[in-house]
Structure 1
């Protein structure tokens, strides 16, 4: 990834705190989209001053098409897209509010569509691109009380696979990772720490993500890679 222009969404979140240092270690030119200023400060505390100064931060609402289009146009070129943004909402289907359903789909699926749409326009122009998205084990093994989340992540998997089919004649790849529970502070707070040693470490996912974003993965297209840890 050396000198490649990488766009990382969710780079200041729980998973991003593991992925961002790995991308910087590969000497990529890194842009991170973010929403909350406080999340940038968390990342600042984790990185060295020199590494933090190498990152370009752009505040962006990824569910808004105008904002996403502006972000991509301002970058000029995107060689690698790593889309980490997502989140889950729990609830029984018969009690689920429509507003919560839409929120979950927007956060997980709509953002993936919009960021991929505009990055693909750049990638097709330059005949080069690597796209890595994050699905979930729930996309292929849906669980109770997570119908909206599982449906949204299943959409992310299908979307990524469709992109891989569309770009076969270009030097562009698209692959999706399916983690089980990721060991993040938010998940520890929500579910306790008793089983945290069995969850997937962000640093482990970072290694897989960096491989998929590399030249070495140029023949890998449309893969849905299961990373379940010991869960």
Structure 2
């Protein structure tokens, strides 16, 4: 039996470039997918011909109650959640720290931290009860240190990384693996448009980053706990 056959993987940010690449990689392995996006319209556009055993759910994951409902419906429909790929998030930059408005701080923390915590927190008790589970979060290679005009983004991704390490320390005794990937620039149409003079051949392809995420959800990564895995291509 393939390693992911009869497993259920919940993917947030499923309508984005990385989310779609991760979904495609797991689908090829026979995995049951719970694909979570902000709206059913974008989910339907991203997955127009979804297999019957997959599930599409729409919710604002910055809303704790809405995220909890998604986790509950995913568990009821699929029986359990074996792995969570917490991909939902976003990027915001352009102003120095002292000029960043409180609303901008709150927005980027909600996008990158709350969307992760609001999904994994209600799913963890079930994983503890089964003594099994995989959680993969998405930090950023750039968040290893501060940089000009990206303070809020770096702070949010650094928070994701520290929370990943903390959850790993708390959950490894229950055979739950919690790890984080640290991509550099991902080769997406949006990044190509935003940086037309850059060389995208040096960036990370979504499919290559997806392969690392799939590995971290596999039993081959059973000994990895709290790892922050750089995935940087040639950059």
Contact 1:176 1:222 in 2 (8 A): yes
- Report whether the alignment pairs 1:26 with 2:29: yes
Give 1:66's aligned residue. 65
Give 1:80's aligned residue. 83
Q: 1:193 to 1:39 in 2, by over 3 A?
A: farther
Gaps of 5+ in 1: none
Give 1:3's aligned residue. 6
- In the alignment, the residues of structure 2 paired with residue 135 and residue 151 of structure 1 have an alpha-carbon distance, to the nearest angstrom, of 10
C-alpha distance after superposition, 1:169-214 (max 9, x if no partner): 1121000000000111221222226321111000001110100001
Is 60-69 or 187-196 further displaced after alignment? 187-196
Root mean square deviation of aligned Cα: 1.5
Deviation at 1:151, TM superposition (A): 0.3
Deviation at 1:127, TM superposition (A): 1.2
Give 2:43's aligned residue. 40
- Among 133, 139, 156, which residue is 2:137 paired with? 133
Deviation at 1:37, TM superposition (A): 3.6
C-alpha distance after superposition, 1:30-72 (max 9, x if no partner): 0011113443244236xxx3x5444211111111111111111
Give TM-score scaled by structure 1 length.
0.93
- In the alignment, the residues of structure 2 paired with residue 38 and residue 60 of structure 1 have an alpha-carbon distance, to the nearest angstrom, of 12
C-alpha distance after superposition, 1:141-170 (max 9, x if no partner): 332111000000000001011111001211
Contact 1:44 1:52 in 2 (8 A): no
Contact 1:128 1:172 in 2 (8 A): yes
Give TM-score scaled by structure 2 length.
0.92
Give 1:224's aligned residue. 228
- Among 79, 98, 101, which residue is 1:97 paired with? 101
- In the alignment, the residues of structure 1 paired with residue 153 and residue 51 of structure 2 have an alpha-carbon distance, to the nearest angstrom, of 32
- Report whether the alignment pairs 1:207 with 2:211: yes
- Among 127, 134, 145, which residue is 1:123 paired with? 127
Contact 1:173 1:221 in 2 (8 A): yes
Give 1:16's aligned residue. 19
- In the alignment, the residues of structure 1 paired with residue 47 and residue 73 of structure 2 have an alpha-carbon distance, to the nearest angstrom, of 23
Contact 2:92 2:150 in 1 (8 A): yes
Give 1:181's aligned residue. 185
